Amino acid sequence: MEVSEIAAKRILTPSRIPGVDYSLNPYLGCSFGCRYCYVSWMPWVRDRGRRWGEFVEAKANAPALLREELKRATPGMVAIGISTDPYQPIEARLRLTERILEVFRGNSARERGFRVRVLTKSPLVLRDAGVLAELDAEVGITVTTDSEGIRRLFEPRAPPIPLRIRALRELKRRGVRTYAFVGPMLPMDPEGLVGMLSGAVDRVVIDRMNYP
Ligand code: SF4
């Protein structure tokens, strides 16, 4: 795994995703390296000349950039983790996502009308449950199947499904709004998945496999 630090030019990227005004990605690349990841087919990944999942570039200046951009940006929904996982393993050391959330909190972003949504596969998000609850952020954890066998085929380096469900339950217990992102929907026992998610989430979002 190759980890480097870069200086980004901007951090709030206008988004065309329905219901999302800005995407915010603290990292380029993702060490989870899921086999279906649509980001891996993007030209900038090919330009790097490295295999998807084997490099991560941390936007070291992201908190400072965000502080500046929040002064001028029109309030709206900010989705963190559209093209990377904001709680992939390197986050435990760099704490970039945590510092980004602190900038939102320190700049009274919620009071000004900025809303935050986070999407991850990692229980590391629990570390930030306090600030997420204060921001009234919504946290999604991706759960693509109820089968660990299927998960290992498609997401071999991502956390096991039971740990993700446990994290959803704990987030909810600690006052964070939660959703399960079932996308792409992989082979599963649907009733089994519903049973696992019961009581752990406020809503479920389902997506199909998006082939290039
Ligand atoms: S965790 Fe998300 S961003 Fe990372 S490789 Fe998997 S699908 Fe892509």
DSSP letters along 146-170, please? S-HHHHHHH-TTSPPHHHHHHHHHH
Q: How far is CA 167 from the centre of its chain?
A: 14
Residue 131, pLDDT > 80, answer yes
In a domain, 171, yes or no: yes
Query: What does the pLDDT average to over 87-115?
Result: 96
Find out whether the beta carbon of 85 lies less than 6 Å from any atom of ligand 1.
yes
Q: Give how many domains the chain has, as a whole number.
A: 1
d(CA 165, CA 146): 10
Query: Whole-structure pTM over 0.85, yes or no?
Result: yes
Q: Is residue 211 part of a domain?
A: no
Place 49 in a pLDDT band, splitting at 50, 70 and 90: confident
pLDDT of residue 46: 86
Average pLDDT (160-186) is 98
Whole-number Å distance, alpha carbon 195 to ligand 1 midpoint, is 25
Give the pLDDT score at 176: 98
Higher pLDDT, 212 or 154: 154
* Structural domain that includes position 141: 2-206
Residue 89 lies in a domain: yes
Output the domain CATH number for residue 90: 3.20.20.70
190 belongs to a structural domain: yes
Residue 109 forms part of a structural domain: yes
What is the predicted pLDDT for the residue at 48?
Answer: 86
Closest approach atom of ligand 1 to CA 81: 3
What is the pLDDT, as a whole number, of residue 205? Answer: 97
